[in-house]
Amino acid sequence: MTCAALAALLGTTALARAETVAITGGTVYPVSGPKIAGGTVVIRDGRITAVGANVAIPAGARRIDARGKLVTPGLINAQTVLGLVEVGGERATRNTSARGLVNADFRPWEGFFSESASIASTREDGVTTVGIFPSGGLVSGQAAAMDLADGTAAEMLRKAPVGVVATIVTGPRFTSDVDEMTAGGNDTAAGGEASQPPASRADALAALRELLEDARFYALRRARFDAGTLRGLSASRRALDALLPVVQGRESLIVEANRLDDIDAMVRFARAERIRLVIAGGAEAWKIAPRLAAAHVAVITGAMNNIPETFDTLNQRQENAALLRRAGVEVALVGNAGGGDEEAFNARNVKYEAGNAVAYGMSHDDALRAVTLGPATILGIADRVGSLAPGKDANVVVWSGDPFEFSTNVEHVFVRGREYHDRSRQDQLIERYRHLPRTNN
């Protein structure tokens, strides 16, 4: 190991317990309130202790001169597979899915890879928290929020679960990474459990309806279940347990749906079942934006999609997020423009999704919200992150300019009050090959 690499290693582990820092003179975007010109943000013991134009700077605070710069909450990418997928093509590094079709009890954060090389490269681009989402099956599992701080997966965990993820997108989406291992299998069934993928979208909706019904039914009859005298249920005991917070309205059901009618059907379903609903994907959500707003259904979507890629997404358009927000819908912008592994390696690019949302009609303030407080609200972590306010955890970024512009540099990144000076794997590769050897070696 080179001296520089050793220093970098120490820099990211040994140093910096929570210090007191005052970021002064910048244009501060609290997101929860109007921007503050020449504002100060004070960070102490991992928390934000003051935000404002006339803030007393604690004695001994390290000062960061942010004049001419922008100060925002650390960005949040609500829907990623960061830490769940390291190298997409290598099955052994994929940890996104569980075996069956109804995996409401699957907790992907327990398989999170805290040493992922993408963590530093994502953080150094200004993203400090990510949602991690399971995939596969009808009910994929539970989502979680992770802070991009050093530590083990358990230490990085911001909150879990933050919702149960399901889909009514038919076809290959029902196939999980491990389906080939369990095709036709039904190894944990207590009787009647779903083992065949839904054959159509109405079939999927019916299966979801039956699941919620069974969750309620089972919750009232646990003793009979344990005694073995209960009728067959459509999912395992643990899956139904995990769905209880959903049927009780304490946790969101996050449903991937793109087609107008699928979204509409889910809104009606959520109303009938009295559950909290978040739509992910939401390609054609703009068509019923006012109804989504009225029903308090949030949408996780992108701003670069305009191709009729499937019969579910014929009318997706780049204005989707702007139209939803204008109607009052809470929006989280995520990278789903396809290509690469947008959801892991390029989770960092969520800021460009926000820039494109502005290019297609969203206000800059709303776009900033859609990558900070919006996703924090949707993931149920807005009490701690996503805005700059006293008492919040200090996930803070200082930018040289507009966060959404390619020309802007990320100058300071704080996660939980600690500043990170990352030298990502990519930075190190550039350094190594910046000057090629004169020999052929």
Partner 1 sequence: MHRFSRGLAAVFTAAFVAFPTFGLAQQTAPSPSPSPGPTPGPGAISVPFADPYPSTYAPFPSRATLIRNATILTAAGPAIHNGSILIRNGKIAAVGDAGAPADGVVVIDARGKYVTPGIIDIHSHMGDYPAPGVSAHSDGNEATNPNTANVWAEHSVWPQDPQFPRALAGGVTTVQILPGSANLIGGRSAILKVVPARTVQAMKFPGARYGLKMACGENPKRVYAGRGPSTRMGNMAGYRAAWIAAEAYKRRWDAWNASHKGDPPARDLTLESLAEALRGDIYVHMHCYRADEMAQVIDMSHEFGYKVRAFHHAIEAYKIADLLAKEGIAATMWADWGGFKMEALDTVRANIGLVDAAGVRATIHSDDASGVQRLNQEVAKAMFAAKRAGLPVTEDVAIKWMTINAAYSLGLDDRTGSLEVGKNADLVLWDGDPFSVYTHAEKTWIDGALLYDRDDPQQNWKTDFELGYVRSAVRK
- CA-closest candidate to residue 83, choices 114, 110, 106: 114
> Among residues 107, 248, 306, 327, which is the contact residue for partner 1, using CB under 8 A?
306
> Among residues 11, 58, 88, 361, which is the contact residue for partner 1, using CB under 8 A?
88
Span interacting with partner 1, options 19-27, 86-94, 191-199, 370-378, rule CB under 8 A: 86-94
Question: Counting contacts by CB under 8 A, is residue 430 touching partner 1?
Answer: yes
| Contact string 357-396 vs partner 1 (x = CB under 8 A) | -xx-------------------------------------
Question: Counting contacts by CB under 8 A, is residue 154 touching partner 1?
Answer: no
- CA-closest candidate to residue 246, choices 175, 150, 163: 163
In the complex, the smallest distance separating the C-beta of residue 441 from partner 1, rounded to whole angstroms, is 12
Helices 260-273, 201-219: inter-axial angle, 10-degree rounding: 20
> Among residues 54, 90, 180, 181, which is the contact residue for partner 1, using CB under 8 A?
90
Nearer to partner 1, 214 or 341 (CB): 341
The H or E element spanning position 168 is: none
Reading the block at residue 368, the tokens are 């900033």
Q: Using alpha carbons only, what angle is made at residue 259 by residues 165 and 369, rounded to the nearest 5 degrees?
A: 60
Note the helical H segments in 80-146.
117-123
Nearer to partner 1, 229 or 407 (CB): 407
> Among residues 68, 328, 340, 390, which is the contact residue for partner 1, using CB under 8 A?
340
Question: Counting contacts by CB under 8 A, is residue 232 touching partner 1?
Answer: no
Question: Counting contacts by CB under 8 A, is residue 170 touching partner 1?
Answer: no
CA–CA distance from 114 to each of 9, 33, 154, 184 (Å)? 15, 33, 9, 34
Tokens 């540099």 label which residue? 409
In the complex, the smallest distance separating the C-beta of residue 313 from partner 1, rounded to whole angstroms, is 8
Question: Counting contacts by CB under 8 A, is residue 73 touching partner 1?
Answer: no
In the complex, the smallest distance separating the C-beta of residue 200 from partner 1, rounded to whole angstroms, is 16
- CA-closest candidate to residue 337, choices 157, 79, 154: 79
Reading the block at residue 315, the tokens are 């009318």
The whole-angstrom separation of Cα 170 and Cα 391 is 44
Burial class (CB in 10 A: 0-12, 13-18, 19+), 37: exposed
Question: Counting contacts by CB under 8 A, is residue 77 touching partner 1?
Answer: no
> Among residues 67, 339, 391, 441, which is the contact residue for partner 1, using CB under 8 A?
339
CA–CA distance from 20 to each of 59, 259, 419 (Å)? 9, 49, 11
Question: Counting contacts by CB under 8 A, is residue 133 touching partner 1?
Answer: no
Q: Which residues bind partner 1 (CB under 8 A)?
A: 86-90, 118, 304-311, 313-315, 317-318, 337-341, 344-346, 349, 352, 355-356, 358-359, 404-407, 409, 426, 429-430, 433-434, 436
